[in-house]
Structure 1
């Protein structure tokens, strides 16, 4: 696979009760893409501090291109306080402001994005006007735009989200986010109807909705497809959605059907939930074994 992919947004540390783990959805997605044979580039910003140095070292260890990760002399590296008391519904307290709130335009960056096949971005990084303006400028030159919705109260609003939705070719969100965003326009009780409304309203080609242990659904030009969840013993759900998105995209790129891509993605997301942290290595054999059950 020679596709070029840029992952834009937050790099941070998840501060868990028993220690810290590297995190941030764009970085997690990039690492899972790297595991599966792609060569993604991360665009982010860390502080000029020990936590920032360790994140850069972590990306290097994973083999992910970090040349477009900026270093901030003023703001500290991002951290998130994670509550895993409910393993199936992890909650987050995201410290603000931090380095990734100040991702700057940079000479050559627009060219890197314009020459890439896919540009993956999220909603959390748009909480601050500096990073948001940089993101909106890059979206003007990006090709395949993949919007990974991450609604983390109080870091979002309709005014911030709408331009990101309007730019997207593919959108991934969870079922709670689907109903909340659709509900800003009119109330829905049926997920498929809500997906159809958002797809039409924002002119999005593909909408993917994850449902945790209950699997996922996709609505696209060729139809509506659902995949049931895989039953596993959950350690924590941190990074499951990121692994899901990376796996779906890899299978989409390699020409798998939407149902096949959805099934593989659900299996990978389930297996990541059996491990601690966002970026455990999951073997293809483990995925095949789970799907064969």
Structure 2
């Protein structure tokens, strides 16, 4: 594994589907997939001292993801999100509140870890005071910050998202989020103009916009890079964006070219969309094999 530690901070929970439940939360999904790629991913979160919490910890161990920084709370239950899969291409969640991951406490003894880490975070973990305060402290210490926006109404405010943007180095956002957020600050812009606007306003190093089945576009110091994506038969899209981010970070930290990075990330996201659940076993060899075949079947 690379010596770089990637901390995924925030919600871990059970996605409750019509026929089953699946371990989830973007930080959990990204951390598991980063581990698949051989990176030193760590998860900072919190579960309740209840059967669902213990089951979630066991899931993490099965996925070879360390649980040392997953806190066990006695006052709040483990998180649950009720998923609506009516539209197979867009999952809608009802996310219960308050739950254990709303109360992630800051651990000052881990400061040496924070200061050398890449921190991956989203807007959902900032919905409640305790976890928000912890996140703010981590953002002031991390070596590199990656904001995976992940807007979930009604669990965000423009004020807080603006603060999280100000602390970001890399921004990963989908097209609808880009349109909404840019609209808070200026009149309607084209996709590229909105990306330029956010990069300049918040002094971002990289802005990456995902477009679902239409691929992704990235803006960094090299300018714009686009990839058209891969058309695949969709099983469900749960975790597809998280796979994109994990693959994107994997290649970014390797120093790969923007086009190769986007190609690999789009392929990883598309592959996970063909699988049931958010964290299938994935590897560089698998994704490269799928890219060579062009179609991910």
Query: Shorter-chain-normalised TM-score: which range?
Result: over 0.9
State the partner residue of 1:28.
Answer: 29
Tell me the equivalent position of 1:218. 218
How do 1:1-293 residues align onto structure 2 when only pairs under 5 Å count?
Answer: 1-116=2-117, 118-292=118-292, 293=294
Distance 1:259 1:188 in 2: 28
Any idea what SS the aligned residue of 1:67 has? coil
1:189 to partner: Cα distance = 4.1
SS in 1 for 2:68: strand
Cα distance in 2 between the residues matched to 1:130 and 1:49: 20
Q: How far apart, in 2, do the equivalents of 1:177 and 1:93 lie?
A: 18
Q: Structure 2: 5+ residue runs without aligned partners?
A: none
Contact 2:37 2:283 in 1 (8 A): no
Q: Distance in 2 between matches of 1:196 and 1:161?
A: 18
Task: State the shift of 1:283 in Å.
Answer: 4.2
- C-alpha distance after superposition, 1:171-219 (max 9, x if no partner): 1010000000001111324111100000000111101100000000100
Structure 1 distance, partners of 2:74, 2:209, is 38
CA shift for structure 1 position 62: 1.1
Runs of 4+ in 1 over 3 A off after TM superposition: 283-286
3-state DSSP class of the match of 1:152? coil
Q: C-alpha separation between the residues in 2 aligned to 1:115 and 1:43?
A: 15
* Structure-2 separation of matches of 1:273 and 1:238: 7
User: Shift of residue 138 of structure 1?
Assistant: 1.0
Does the 8 A contact of 1:39 with 1:65 survive in 2? no
Taking only aligned residues, the RMSD between alpha carbons, in angstroms, comes to 1.0
**1:14, CA displacement in angstroms?**
0.4
For the structure 1 residues 283 and 115, does the alpha-carbon distance in structure 2 shift closer, same or farther, using more than 3 Å as the test? closer
TM-score by length of 1: 0.97
Asked if the contact 1:113/1:142 (under 8 Å) is kept, the reply is: yes
Kindly tell me the number of residue pairs found equivalent between the two proteins.
292
Unaligned stretches of 5+ in structure 1?
Answer: none
- State whether residues 218 and 226 of structure 1, in contact with CA within 8 Å, keep that contact through their aligned partners in structure 2: yes
Q: Is residue 9–residue 125 contact of structure 1 (8 Å, CA) maintained in 2?
A: yes
- Please state whether the residue corresponding to 2:188 is helix, strand or coil: coil
What is the CA deviation profile of residues 239-259 of structure 1, one whole-angstrom value per residue up to 9, with x for unaligned ones? 011110010110111121011
User: CA 1:210–1:244 in 2, change beyond 3 Å: closer, same or farther?
Assistant: same
